[in-house]
Amino acid sequence: MHHLNCGTFCPRGARLLTGSGGLLAETRLVCHCLLIEAGEELVLVDTGFGMGDVGDPGRLGAPFRALTRPRCVESETAVRQIERLGLDPTDVGHIVLTHMDLDHAGGLGDFPGAEVHVFARELRAARAPSLQERARYVPAQWSHGPKWAEHDVDGDSWLGFERVLLLPDVDVEIAMVPLPGHTRGHTGIAVSEPGGWLLHCGDAFFHHGEVATPSAVPAGVTLYERATCVDNGVRQQNQERLRELARDHGDDVRLICSHDPELLDAA
Protein backbone atom coordinates (compact mmCIF):
# COMPACT_ATOMS: atom_id res chain seq x y z
CA MET A 1 0.00 0.00 0.00
CA HIS A 2 1.35 3.39 -1.03
CA HIS A 3 0.32 6.66 0.63
CA LEU A 4 0.18 9.50 -1.90
CA ASN A 5 -0.37 13.23 -1.60
CA CYS A 6 -2.38 14.07 -4.71
CA GLY A 7 -2.88 17.75 -4.02
CA THR A 8 -1.44 20.36 -1.68
CA PHE A 9 -3.35 23.30 -0.22
CA CYS A 10 -1.63 26.38 1.20
CA PRO A 11 -4.38 28.30 3.03
CA ARG A 12 -3.68 31.11 5.45
CA GLY A 13 -4.71 30.87 9.08
CA ALA A 14 -2.25 28.30 10.40
CA ARG A 15 -3.24 28.70 14.05
CA LEU A 16 -6.94 28.26 13.28
CA LEU A 17 -6.38 25.18 11.12
CA THR A 18 -3.53 23.40 12.93
CA GLY A 19 -3.41 24.93 16.40
CA SER A 20 0.01 26.50 15.94
CA GLY A 21 1.60 29.32 13.95
CA GLY A 22 0.35 32.79 13.18
CA LEU A 23 -3.24 33.76 12.52
CA LEU A 24 -2.41 34.79 8.96
CA ALA A 25 0.49 32.41 8.41
CA GLU A 26 0.38 29.97 5.51
CA THR A 27 -0.02 26.30 6.35
CA ARG A 28 0.00 23.00 4.44
CA LEU A 29 -2.88 20.62 3.93
CA VAL A 30 -2.84 17.53 1.70
CA CYS A 31 -5.03 15.18 -0.36
CA HIS A 32 -4.15 11.82 1.17
CA CYS A 33 -4.90 9.01 -1.31
CA LEU A 34 -4.04 5.31 -1.24
CA LEU A 35 -2.63 3.13 -4.00
CA ILE A 36 -3.11 -0.56 -3.26
CA GLU A 37 -1.25 -3.27 -5.15
CA ALA A 38 -3.83 -6.06 -5.13
CA GLY A 39 -2.33 -8.93 -7.04
CA GLU A 40 -2.00 -7.85 -10.66
CA GLU A 41 -4.46 -4.98 -10.25
CA LEU A 42 -4.04 -1.54 -8.77
CA VAL A 43 -6.77 0.00 -6.62
CA LEU A 44 -6.83 3.75 -5.97
CA VAL A 45 -8.67 5.22 -2.97
CA ASP A 46 -9.63 8.78 -3.97
CA THR A 47 -7.73 10.61 -6.71
CA GLY A 48 -7.08 14.12 -5.44
CA PHE A 49 -6.52 16.58 -8.27
CA GLY A 50 -5.91 15.29 -11.76
CA MET A 51 -4.38 16.39 -15.03
CA GLY A 52 -7.60 18.16 -15.99
CA ASP A 53 -7.31 20.33 -12.89
CA VAL A 54 -3.66 21.06 -13.66
CA GLY A 55 -4.59 22.15 -17.18
CA ASP A 56 -7.61 24.17 -16.09
CA PRO A 57 -7.52 25.04 -12.36
CA GLY A 58 -10.28 27.57 -13.02
CA ARG A 59 -12.80 24.74 -13.19
CA LEU A 60 -12.41 24.34 -9.41
CA GLY A 61 -14.13 27.69 -8.91
CA ALA A 62 -12.83 31.01 -7.66
CA PRO A 63 -14.26 30.77 -4.09
CA PHE A 64 -12.70 27.34 -3.49
CA ARG A 65 -9.34 28.45 -4.86
CA ALA A 66 -9.36 31.68 -2.84
CA LEU A 67 -10.18 29.87 0.41
CA THR A 68 -7.95 26.80 0.11
CA ARG A 69 -5.20 28.06 -2.25
CA PRO A 70 -4.68 24.68 -3.97
CA ARG A 71 -1.43 23.86 -5.73
CA CYS A 72 -2.45 21.91 -8.84
CA VAL A 73 0.84 20.55 -10.15
CA GLU A 74 1.39 17.67 -12.53
CA SER A 75 3.97 15.94 -10.33
CA GLU A 76 1.39 15.45 -7.55
CA THR A 77 -1.28 13.83 -9.72
CA ALA A 78 -1.90 10.16 -9.04
CA VAL A 79 -1.14 9.18 -12.62
CA ARG A 80 2.35 10.71 -12.50
CA GLN A 81 3.11 9.28 -9.06
CA ILE A 82 2.09 5.81 -10.22
CA GLU A 83 4.48 6.16 -13.15
CA ARG A 84 7.31 7.21 -10.80
CA LEU A 85 6.70 4.07 -8.76
CA GLY A 86 7.46 2.06 -11.89
CA LEU A 87 3.84 0.94 -12.24
CA ASP A 88 1.48 1.20 -15.20
CA PRO A 89 -1.47 3.58 -14.70
CA THR A 90 -3.55 1.44 -17.05
CA ASP A 91 -3.40 -1.28 -14.38
CA VAL A 92 -5.63 0.83 -12.12
CA GLY A 93 -8.69 -1.36 -12.44
CA HIS A 94 -10.68 0.16 -9.59
CA ILE A 95 -11.07 3.56 -7.95
CA VAL A 96 -12.91 3.70 -4.63
CA LEU A 97 -14.17 7.17 -3.68
CA THR A 98 -14.82 8.37 -0.15
CA HIS A 99 -17.03 10.97 -1.84
CA MET A 100 -17.11 13.05 -5.01
CA ASP A 101 -16.01 16.50 -3.81
CA LEU A 102 -13.83 18.27 -6.37
CA ASP A 103 -10.60 17.64 -4.42
CA HIS A 104 -11.29 13.89 -4.26
CA ALA A 105 -12.49 13.08 -7.78
CA GLY A 106 -10.31 15.33 -9.94
CA GLY A 107 -8.18 12.47 -11.28
CA LEU A 108 -11.00 10.22 -12.51
CA GLY A 109 -10.36 11.23 -16.12
CA ASP A 110 -6.75 10.06 -15.89
CA PHE A 111 -7.95 6.46 -15.47
CA PRO A 112 -10.74 6.06 -18.03
CA GLY A 113 -10.63 2.27 -17.91
CA ALA A 114 -11.13 2.00 -14.14
CA GLU A 115 -14.35 0.94 -12.48
CA VAL A 116 -15.33 3.69 -10.03
CA HIS A 117 -16.95 2.55 -6.79
CA VAL A 118 -19.21 5.04 -5.02
CA PHE A 119 -22.31 4.96 -2.87
CA ALA A 120 -25.41 5.41 -4.99
CA ARG A 121 -26.69 8.31 -2.90
CA GLU A 122 -23.40 10.16 -3.39
CA LEU A 123 -23.57 9.75 -7.15
CA ARG A 124 -27.17 10.97 -7.10
CA ALA A 125 -26.08 14.05 -5.14
CA ALA A 126 -23.30 14.79 -7.61
CA ARG A 127 -25.57 14.40 -10.61
CA ALA A 128 -28.44 16.46 -9.13
CA PRO A 129 -26.95 18.66 -6.40
CA SER A 130 -29.01 20.96 -4.26
CA LEU A 131 -28.16 24.65 -4.23
CA GLN A 132 -26.04 24.04 -1.11
CA GLU A 133 -24.14 21.20 -2.81
CA ARG A 134 -23.59 22.73 -6.23
CA ALA A 135 -20.14 24.22 -5.63
CA ARG A 136 -18.62 21.01 -4.28
CA TYR A 137 -19.11 18.89 -7.42
CA VAL A 138 -17.40 19.54 -10.78
CA PRO A 139 -19.10 17.48 -13.54
CA ALA A 140 -16.15 18.14 -15.88
CA GLN A 141 -14.12 15.77 -13.69
CA TRP A 142 -16.28 12.84 -14.80
CA SER A 143 -17.40 14.05 -18.23
CA HIS A 144 -15.49 11.13 -19.84
CA GLY A 145 -18.21 8.77 -18.61
CA PRO A 146 -16.65 6.55 -15.92
CA LYS A 147 -17.65 2.94 -15.40
CA TRP A 148 -19.69 3.61 -12.26
CA ALA A 149 -20.18 0.83 -9.72
CA GLU A 150 -22.97 2.07 -7.44
CA HIS A 151 -23.31 0.52 -3.99
CA ASP A 152 -25.85 0.45 -1.15
CA VAL A 153 -25.53 -1.01 2.34
CA ASP A 154 -26.44 -4.68 2.40
CA GLY A 155 -26.58 -5.70 6.07
CA ASP A 156 -22.92 -6.63 6.53
CA SER A 157 -21.07 -5.19 9.54
CA TRP A 158 -17.53 -4.32 10.66
CA LEU A 159 -16.63 -3.42 14.26
CA GLY A 160 -20.10 -2.01 14.85
CA PHE A 161 -20.28 -0.13 11.54
CA GLU A 162 -22.16 -1.08 8.40
CA ARG A 163 -19.95 -2.08 5.52
CA VAL A 164 -20.02 -3.10 1.88
CA LEU A 165 -17.30 -5.56 0.99
CA LEU A 166 -15.69 -4.86 -2.39
CA LEU A 167 -13.59 -6.83 -4.87
CA PRO A 168 -13.80 -10.34 -3.41
CA ASP A 169 -11.40 -11.65 -6.04
CA VAL A 170 -8.39 -9.53 -5.02
CA ASP A 171 -5.96 -10.54 -2.29
CA VAL A 172 -6.61 -7.48 -0.10
CA GLU A 173 -9.85 -7.00 1.84
CA ILE A 174 -11.41 -3.64 0.98
CA ALA A 175 -14.74 -2.38 2.28
CA MET A 176 -16.83 0.79 2.16
CA VAL A 177 -17.90 1.92 5.65
CA PRO A 178 -20.70 4.53 5.44
CA LEU A 179 -19.88 7.78 7.25
CA PRO A 180 -22.41 10.30 5.91
CA GLY A 181 -22.73 13.86 7.08
CA HIS A 182 -19.98 15.70 5.22
CA THR A 183 -21.82 14.68 2.05
CA ARG A 184 -24.93 12.59 1.49
CA GLY A 185 -23.03 9.46 0.52
CA HIS A 186 -19.69 9.97 2.24
CA THR A 187 -17.91 6.76 3.23
CA GLY A 188 -14.76 5.53 4.87
CA ILE A 189 -12.66 2.87 3.15
CA ALA A 190 -11.37 -0.02 5.29
CA VAL A 191 -8.32 -1.87 3.96
CA SER A 192 -6.81 -4.94 5.59
CA GLU A 193 -3.13 -4.73 6.42
CA PRO A 194 -0.74 -6.93 8.42
CA GLY A 195 -1.98 -7.02 12.00
CA GLY A 196 -5.25 -5.23 11.46
CA TRP A 197 -6.97 -2.55 9.41
CA LEU A 198 -6.44 0.89 7.96
CA LEU A 199 -9.58 3.03 7.81
CA HIS A 200 -9.38 5.96 5.42
CA CYS A 201 -12.06 8.26 6.82
CA GLY A 202 -12.03 10.78 3.98
CA ASP A 203 -13.48 14.04 5.30
CA ALA A 204 -15.31 12.50 8.27
CA PHE A 205 -12.62 14.33 10.24
CA PHE A 206 -9.97 16.84 9.22
CA HIS A 207 -7.51 16.89 12.14
CA HIS A 208 -6.07 14.02 14.16
CA GLY A 209 -7.14 15.67 17.41
CA GLU A 210 -10.79 15.12 16.52
CA VAL A 211 -10.57 11.35 17.03
CA ALA A 212 -8.35 11.55 20.12
CA THR A 213 -9.66 11.08 23.66
CA PRO A 214 -10.09 13.75 24.87
CA SER A 215 -10.56 15.51 21.55
CA ALA A 216 -8.70 18.71 20.70
CA VAL A 217 -9.88 20.55 17.61
CA PRO A 218 -8.53 23.83 16.19
CA ALA A 219 -11.34 26.40 15.95
CA GLY A 220 -10.99 26.89 12.21
CA VAL A 221 -11.42 23.17 11.55
CA THR A 222 -14.73 23.12 13.42
CA LEU A 223 -16.00 26.15 11.52
CA TYR A 224 -14.95 24.72 8.16
CA GLU A 225 -16.54 21.34 8.85
CA ARG A 226 -19.85 22.90 9.86
CA ALA A 227 -19.84 25.19 6.83
CA THR A 228 -19.17 22.43 4.31
CA CYS A 229 -21.26 19.52 5.62
CA VAL A 230 -24.78 18.65 4.49
CA ASP A 231 -25.89 17.29 7.89
CA ASN A 232 -23.92 18.47 10.90
CA GLY A 233 -25.78 16.29 13.39
CA VAL A 234 -25.04 13.09 11.49
CA ARG A 235 -21.46 14.24 10.89
CA GLN A 236 -20.92 14.75 14.63
CA GLN A 237 -22.48 11.38 15.47
CA ASN A 238 -20.16 9.58 13.06
CA GLN A 239 -17.14 11.49 14.34
CA GLU A 240 -17.99 10.38 17.89
CA ARG A 241 -18.24 6.79 16.66
CA LEU A 242 -14.81 7.12 15.07
CA ARG A 243 -13.44 8.48 18.35
CA GLU A 244 -14.82 5.42 20.12
CA LEU A 245 -13.33 3.16 17.44
CA ALA A 246 -9.90 4.73 17.91
CA ARG A 247 -10.19 4.42 21.69
CA ASP A 248 -11.49 0.83 21.82
CA HIS A 249 -9.72 -0.70 18.80
CA GLY A 250 -6.63 1.46 18.43
CA ASP A 251 -4.38 -1.61 18.47
CA ASP A 252 -6.20 -3.11 15.49
CA VAL A 253 -7.35 -0.13 13.42
CA ARG A 254 -5.39 2.88 12.16
CA LEU A 255 -7.49 5.92 11.30
CA ILE A 256 -6.39 8.41 8.67
CA CYS A 257 -8.21 11.23 6.92
CA SER A 258 -7.78 13.14 3.69
CA HIS A 259 -6.27 16.48 4.62
CA ASP A 260 -4.16 16.17 7.80
CA PRO A 261 -0.46 16.40 6.80
CA GLU A 262 0.72 14.87 10.08
CA LEU A 263 -1.19 11.65 9.38
CA LEU A 264 0.21 11.49 5.86
CA ASP A 265 3.78 12.12 7.02
CA ALA A 266 3.45 9.40 9.69
CA ALA A 267 1.98 6.79 7.31
| Sign for the pseudo-dihedral over CA of 9, 243, 196, 179 | negative
CATH number at residue 9: 3.60.15.10
pLDDT for residue 169: 87
pLDDT for residue 47: 98
pLDDT for residue 45: 98
CA–CA distance, 248 with 246 (Å, rounded to integer)? 6
pTM for this one? Answer: 0.96
| Sign for the pseudo-dihedral over CA of 68, 205, 221, 230 | positive
pLDDT for residue 20: 86
Cα-Cα end-to-end distance for the chain = 10
pLDDT for residue 40: 85
Q: Number of structural domains, the chain?
A: 1
Write out pLDDT tens, residues 141-169: 999 999 999 999 988 999 999 999 999 88
CA–CA distance, 103 with 50 (Å, rounded to integer)? 9
Domain that holds residue 125: 2-266
In order along the chain (267 residues), what is the average pLDDT of each group of 10 residues? 97 92 94 94 97 97 96 97 97 98 98 98 97 96 97 93 93 96 98 95 97 94 96 97 96 97 96
